Amino acid sequence: MRSLKTNLRLAKRISRRQRRGNASVISIVLMFVLLCIGIIVGAVAIRDQIVQEYGDFAVALDSLSQSFSYRIEIDPDGPGGDSPTIWEAEFIDDNATLVDGGPNEAPAGITFVNPPTPDQREGVVDNPAGTIP
């Protein structure tokens, strides 16, 4: 026959096994839904920041000046000759064309256009007039 002490130990072991974490289906579904919403929101934020960085990079590249000029002088008679041949070229880069709108603005002048609604399409006749032959 077992002692009272041994029976209490067995009862504690059994109750520990029974109290191990049980998760209901509703809690698992709720956690999965919250995780999916968080992933979608995070992906949208990452996409927006990547587009912003590309726009900032385009503005930085556009603002670089690539102007140059050179002069080549060749004297066929040697140094100090009377008729040197001179070639010159010059390129002046225009001012930057892209401008960054700042925070909460579309980067580098990118504009987003909504697709036309059915009323704005060309050649659509919603209410035809006339008679059918």
Looking at the domain assignment, is residue 133 inside a domain? no
6-38 per-position pLDDT tens digit? 777 777 777 666 555 667 888 889 999 999 999
Looking at the domain assignment, is residue 39 inside a domain? yes
Looking at the domain assignment, is residue 44 inside a domain? yes
Q: Are 96 and 66 in contact (CB under 8 A)?
A: no
Q: So what's the pLDDT on residue 30? A: 93
Query: 11-23 in b/e burial notation, b at 16+ Cβ within 10 A?
Result: eeeeeeeeeeeee
37-70 per-position pLDDT tens digit? 999 999 988 988 888 888 888 888 888 888 889 9
Q: Are 69 and 88 in contact (CB under 8 A)?
A: yes
CA distance 3 to 9: 10
CA distance 63 to 99: 9
Structural domain that includes position 45: 23-115
Mean pLDDT of the chain: 77
Q: What is the total count of domains within the chain? A: 1
Looking at the domain assignment, is residue 13 inside a domain? no
Q: pTM of the entire structure? A: 0.49
